Amino acid sequence: MLKLNVHCRLFSAPPQALQRWIEATWSGTPQDAFPRDVIKSWRKNPPGVDPLALVPGKTKLGHGGFTFHFREWNGERWRVEFNGPWFSGWHGFHLRELNGGAHLVHTVSLQATWLGILLWRLLIEPIHDWAVEAMFDRLETAVATGSIPEHTARPMGRHARCAFWLFSRIFMKRSRQRHRRREAIA
């Protein structure tokens, strides 16, 4: 089953004012617009490659327990892919000029099993929707002030808070357990 999730925002600044902030997304740095104070974000590259570089087919990035594979950033289109047991697809940004400002669209396109759709609708989508809107808020502040806010101002709605609590208890605990097992084996 195919599922699309789309968020849009019009910024008063030109697209060029957002490009560097989009490029820094999921870097885990102070320039990262993702609400990393609530959900940890990260970026990894192979040894010998600048850790903050975006190298198609090489760079992995994500947040929490989610891993994405970087595919493209040309200043207008930023895209990553994901594959998992219950869903696979892509998500990214499309940035263009509109009426003297920037129109930014964030899209998730996923193919999912029935279990994947259930997980998406009940747990992931509410958190995702909050995170994208919080990211847009943080981008607006960055364009206006020249820096990303240290703390995310947008509150999480009740459904997102409940989903975040449940998701972190079930899936993040398993992720931490797998990580500990890998460290013990290494």
The distance of Cα 84 from the centroid of its chain, to the nearest Å, equals: 16
Q: For residue 139, with 0-12 CB atoms within 10 Å meaning exposed, 13-18 middle and 19 or more buried, which class applies? A: buried
CATH number, domain at 24?
Answer: 3.30.530.20
Q: How many domains does the chain have?
A: 1
Residue 134: which domain range?
2-185
- Using a cut of 0.75, tell me whether the model's pTM lies above it: yes
In this structure, are residues 9 and 93 in contact, taking their beta carbons and an 8 Å threshold? no
118-144 pLDDT per residue, tens: 999 999 999 999 999 999 999 999 999
In the chain, the percentage of residues whose pLDDT exceeds 90 is 83
Q: What is the reported pLDDT for 173? A: 57
